[in-house]
Structure 1
Amino acid sequence: MPWSRQGACRGWWRCDQDHQVQGRAGQEISQTCLECHNSSQEHNNFLRGEHGRNDVACIDCHSLHSADLSRPKMLAKSEPQLCITCHSEMKVDFTRPFRHRVMEGAIKCSDCHNPHGGFDQKQLRASNGTDVACLKCHIDKQGPFVFEHAPLKTEGCTICHIPHGANNPKMLRRDRVFQLCIECHSNVGTVGGPNTPSFHNLNSARYQNCTTCHVKIHGSNTQRFFFR
């Protein structure tokens, strides 16, 4: 919505008519804000999002009258300090050896999550199976591919990776690659009789790093086994 002096005065007058917010429900307070902030997709789902449904009000994050003008969007604090005020359990993940550098300021919480709501439980900026939030940075993993890796297509990046931080390289959910792969890929041959052992002998170090051979694990345009 473009700024105008007349619009600004009308907006402040509307807020001032019900200036006493003490004791009012978060959704009631936010509804006043949404009377003006309603023209973008960013805000359209606020009341049905996790914050709105849990009575987090706009003024819990935005400081209307005493905001530091060096912070954008009249935030009460800068990210990520503002977010970890409530989501304190996330701070531990950002201290792990392999992590997204949120605390260092290289990436913000709102780059991946829409704080104003959405249809996803974690308010991600994309639903499972598309992972637009991840692909904004990891563009080399973006398909479509001729040969898709089905879990990536249907369940998303987080089926293999822990998004905030992990103790394992590449933020993998398991400390050894083959342990992650055999959650879906049984160590049983695809030819021969029932329970025929695969030639992948997982007791051998030769076969314990699947990506030594299956290098294009996110998808390939040339080889259905992701060899290249």
Structure 2
Amino acid sequence: MGEFARTSHHVIGSVTDSQCIVCHDQSTHMAGTVRLIDYDNPGSSIAFSDALSAEAFCLGCHDSDGADGNFVPFEDGGVAVNVAGTWGASHHKSAGQTCLDCHENNHGSEKRKLLSPADTPATSPSLTEEEEGFCYTCHGAGGPASKNIEVDFALLSHHNVAYADQSADGGRVECTDCHNPHAGNHQKPLIDPDEPHLVWTGNEVDFCLRCHDGAPPAGVIFPSTSPGTGYDKSRFSSSTHGLSGSVSCGDCHKAHGSNRESLKTMRYEQSDQVSYSGGGAQYLLCWQCHRENVVVGNEARNAFGTLHDKHVKEKRAPCIECHDPHSGYDSGESGLISFVYPDKHGWNFDLNVSGTTYNLSTAYQDTGTNT
């Protein structure tokens, strides 16, 4: 059969009778109904009449028995992946999806992992049909899923799941780096990026730091434009924000995409010479937790007195000029001050990127005696 010559397939090499009867029961072969061997119930078979009946057959191999290595169905020696262990509690299962909704042909597919439609190769310009484009079939405009995820990845800033984005700057992350379609549900939609077969049971910060720790899992690549090892935020957990227990990544960042830079949920200006207006729209993200009047207004009362007001309003310096919301330069700095101190001057930018010559039009300089 030509299906076994496709890009992904169950049988490796030549198709022999011994390979066929691994799946197909021959006892009533002439009766007109395809019957499949039920490996969880020796001596029994499953009449293949609809997608749901095929699910029971698939899980007969793709369970703990199949994954323990004691059962090797085909001559290539491949061991089945345990899907049954998480499938029963998954959202896809509860929504009525079955194996054949995503893997329509058990013999072979022109896409990886037997994905549907099996007879359409994922070649340019349809490379995404076996990656994010495949997910968008349901999780896109007009799809049966309750949420349109595709629209999020078309926003100004987003994780690089799109093939075009990956080709442009080298950054790469796929839907399956965060989600397992065989396991995720509404309560636990994520996986452990370091152990993709495990459902994530930890908190949001620790999940994000699985990639944003300077040592992302294999396959996750940060864009060539990212600083250092790639958006390393591993110091957040020991920062004032992290230790507070009340600030999580999702308070400031969207997971998939945002119309603001760096996936931000609200406006947070980072450029110099920002004219500050009443109401603080320029730093709306900060004011979700910090009281504007206490920091820069008439009620200003903090370690710097009215100096916040002077810098933000008069000198038009953005918050990030002095503060890094993820961590301070000194891990013990409760104010998240991110100064570096070459030649007893402080400014907030990465010398590895900018070089050692600072520009007074773009950076603040602290020349006081206590710097």
TM-score by length of 1: 0.75
- Cα 1:134–1:68 change in 2 (3 A) is farther
Question: Structure 1 residue 223 and structure 2 residue 357: aligned?
Answer: no
Show structure 2 runs of 5+ residues with no match.
1-10, 25-35, 39-44, 65-80, 117-128, 141-147, 167-171, 192-199, 215-231, 270-282, 339-371
- Take 1:208 and 1:11, find their aligned partners in 2: how far apart are those partners? 69
Q: What is the correspondence of 1:1-228 to structure 2 with a 5 Å cutoff? A: 9-12=21-24, 13-14=36-37, 17-21=46-50, 24=52, 29-39=54-64, 44-65=85-106, 67-69=108-110, 71-76=111-116, 77-88=129-140, 89-104=148-163, 106-118=172-184, 121=187, 123-125=189-191, 126=200, 127-132=202-207, 135-137=210-212, 139=214, 140-143=232-235, 145-150=237-242, 156-177=248-269, 178-189=283-294, 196-198=299-301, 199=306, 200-201=308-309, 204=313, 206=315, 209-215=318-324, 217-220=325-328, 221-228=331-338
Show structure 1 runs of 5+ residues with no match.
none
- Take 2:211 and 2:84, find their aligned partners in 1: how far apart are those partners? 21
- Take 1:7 and 1:151, find their aligned partners in 2: how far apart are those partners? 58
**Residues 312, 319 of structure 2: 8 Å contact kept:** no
| Alpha-carbon displacement from aligned partner over 1:144-167 (angstroms, at most 9, x marks no partner) | 743352389666422211122211
- Cα 1:38–1:65 change in 2 (3 A) is closer
- Take 1:65 and 1:134, find their aligned partners in 2: how far apart are those partners? 37
| Alpha-carbon displacement from aligned partner over 1:142-198 (angstroms, at most 9, x marks no partner) | 2474335238966642221112221111110112252112111223549xxxx9434
- Take 1:43 and 1:133, find their aligned partners in 2: how far apart are those partners? 27
Q: Which runs of 4+ in 1 moved over 6 A?
A: 3-8
| Alpha-carbon displacement from aligned partner over 1:34-88 (angstroms, at most 9, x marks no partner) | 222123676522221211111111211113336434x321111411121111111
SS in 1 for 2:266: coil
- Take 2:105 and 2:153, find their aligned partners in 1: how far apart are those partners? 30
- Take 2:336 and 2:99, find their aligned partners in 1: how far apart are those partners? 47
**Residues 49, 119 of structure 1: 8 Å contact kept:** yes
Aligned length: 216
- Take 2:138 and 2:293, find their aligned partners in 1: how far apart are those partners? 46
Structure 1 or 2, whichever has the larger Rg, is 2
Higher relative contact order (CA 8 A, sep 6+): 1
**Residues 128, 154 of structure 1: 8 Å contact kept:** no
RMSD of aligned Cα (Å): 3.6
TM-score by length of 2: 0.49
